[in-house]
Copies of this chain bind each other. A is one copy, B any other.
């Protein structure tokens, strides 16, 4: 018998259960990023043993996942449009010489959630509320007056823990629609001999991105079916008091969702506005997975600063695992 589909009552119950509003004061705008304390940053730095830096970012270009085929209603996200304002060909042509310097310059037009990115706390609302009980009308066409990504500019540093779920389960990748359970996460941590702790940045591999990269196209990736967190992992996240969570899929949580029609991305409904959990999406973890499999060390210093665009509800990032 298939599990019962989640409905609005289930979401309401979860919203109450996992609600962290007020936990860090009525003025807080960064939620669970508060879990990481100064001593955690010191301890994280101690994990740097071999001096290896691994980027968890896809390059930002026209080969990114936006524009791929998807059943998901269009969001207006495009791959980054990188345009030049001055070029080396201008230099070669001599047309820059009156400036006394031969230099190139450039610009980007980029939806903030088009590639490897943080979902800020202004990204998702529960009914009329955003994180910490702020009114959703704080996010207007002029940007997020509360919980803008710029509030996190000195966060996103701490201990990183990598959970390679398919590897722990003896598979190459998780298949689309696979709902990662709390048991899966615990089993993975145990297999990898790592313990998730308060204030950690947890990066979870499903392998879906590698499948798309190998196929040479992103069809089905943006908003399509995907392996990802089951709704029950809210409990796991809540108990462990992690700072943030990230994955290699478009939207972290399992798709199709475990919900009745009309409820899309239920895990997001709770994580961002109720828990105050920042989350990372479209993280490229193939290199990290390889390295961890080799040295069997699944913890590292994690530094993934957001670009502090005032009032932004997300940010591209180049997350670094430093081992």
Q: Tell me which of A32-40, A179-187, A208-216, A241-249 binds B.
A: A32-40
Shortest CB-to-CB span from A308 to chain B, Å, is 5
How many Å lie between the Cα of A254 and that of B90 in the bound state?
26
Q: Give residues of chain A (294-309) contacting chain B, Cβ–Cβ below 8 Å.
A: 301, 303-309
Copies of chain A in the complex: 4
Residues on B with beta carbons closer than 8 Å to the beta carbon of A84? 83-84, 139-143, 313
Shortest CB-to-CB span from A153 to chain B, Å, is 4
- A61-80 near B? 1/0 per residue, CB < 8 Å: 11100010000011111101
Q: Tell me which of A16-24, A123-131, A161-169, A227-235 binds B.
A: A123-131
Q: Are A312 and B49 in contact, CB atoms less than 8 angstroms apart?
A: no
Interface size on A, residues (CB 8 A): 112
Residues on B with beta carbons closer than 8 Å to the beta carbon of A105? 75-77, 111-113, 123, 313-314
Chain A residues packing against B (C-beta within 8 Å): 37-42, 44-55, 57-63, 67, 73-78, 80-95, 99-113, 122-128, 130, 135-144, 150, 153-155, 157, 261-265, 268-269, 301, 303-314, 316-320, 322
